[in-house]
C-alpha cells in the first residue's frame, strides 16, 4: 500500500508540473529548429530528467488572474517598453549621451515571492532600468537607472516601480496582497 501512496505522490507532482514539462519540450524543439519524433521524444526525456532531478520549490498560494487588471498591466507594460526603448535609443545617439545614472532602492509592499519576481522582471525588461539587488527580507529592490539628473527623476523612477508593483498585484495577487498596497511607502503621489 505504501507503494501506491508514493506512486500517487509522483503522479500528483507530475500533474502539477505538466505545464512546465510541456514548456520544456516546446523549448527543446525550438532550440533544435526542426520538428521530428526524435526531438519530441528526447525533449520529453530531458524535461522529465530536469523536473525530477532538479525540482523547483512549490509556489505557495498559486496565482489568481484578474483579466481586466492583467490587460491593464500588459497594456501599460508594452507602452512603457516602447516609450523607454525610444528614450534610451535617443539618449545613446544624442551628442551629449547619457549624462548620469543612479542606484535607487525601492521598498515594495508585497511579500509574495512570485509577485516580487514578476515586478522585478517587468522593471528589468523596460529599457533604462535594471534590478541589481533584491533584499527579500525587507522587500527592497535595488535598481540601476539611467538618465537621472535630479531628485525629481529619482522620485519619478520610484513611483514608476511602485505603479508596476500595484498593477502586478492587482493582476495576480490575493485580496490580502491587494489590501497591502494601501501601506504607505513614500509620500510621493502618482505621476500624471
Q: Which of 136, 151, 138 is nearest to 104 (CA)?
A: 151
pLDDT at 100: 82
The owner of cell 514548456 is 23
pLDDT digits (tens, 9 = 90+) for 28-74: 999 998 889 999 999 999 988 888 888 777 655 666 889 999 999 99
Q: What's the per-residue H, E or C state across 19-77?
A: HHHHHHHHHHHHHHCCCCHHHHHHHHHHHHHHHHHCCCCCCCCCCCCCHHHHHHHHHHH
Show the DSSP H helices in 54-190 as ranges. 67-93, 113-125, 151-172, 175-179
> How far, in Å, CA of 8 to CA of 84, rounded?
49
**Could you tell me the pTM of the whole model?**
0.67
- pLDDT grade for 188, boundaries at 50, 70 and 90: very low
Q: Which helix (H) or strand (E) holds 12?
A: helix 2-16
pLDDT at 192: 31
Amino acid at each position: 500500500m505504501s507503494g501506491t501512496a508514493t506512486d500517487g505522490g509522483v503522479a500528483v507532482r507530475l500533474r502539477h508540473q505538466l505545464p512546465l514539462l510541456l514548456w520544456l519540450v516546446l523549448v527543446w524543439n525550438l532550440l533544435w529548429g526542426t520538428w521530428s519524433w526524435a526531438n519530441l521524444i528526447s525533449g520529453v526525456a530531458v524535461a522529465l530528467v530536469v523536473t525530477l532531478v532538479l525540482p523547483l520549490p512549490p509556489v505557495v498560494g498559486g496565482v489568481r488572474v484578474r483579466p481586466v487588471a492583467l490587460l491593464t498591466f500588459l497594456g501599460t507594460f508594452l507602452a512603457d517598453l516602447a516609450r523607454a526603448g525610444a528614450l534610451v535609443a535617443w539618449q545613446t545617439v544624442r551628442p551629449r549621451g547619457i549624462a548620469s545614472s543612479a542606484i535607487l532602492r525601492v521598498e515594495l509592499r508585497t511579500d509574495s515571492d512570485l509577485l516580487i519576481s514578476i515586478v522585478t522582471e517587468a522593471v528589468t525588461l523596460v529599457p533604462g532600468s535594471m534590478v541589481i539587488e533584491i533584499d527579500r527580507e525587507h522587500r527592497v529592490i535595488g535598481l540601476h537607472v539611467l538618465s537621472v539628473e535630479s531628485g525629481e527623476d529619482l522620485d519619478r523612477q520610484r513611483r514608476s516601480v511602485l505603479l508596476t508593483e500595484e498593477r502586478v498585484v492587482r493582476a495576480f495577487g490575493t485580496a490580502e496582497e491587494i489590501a497591502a498596497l494601501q501601506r504607505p511607502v513614500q509620500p510621493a503621489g502618482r505621476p500624471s
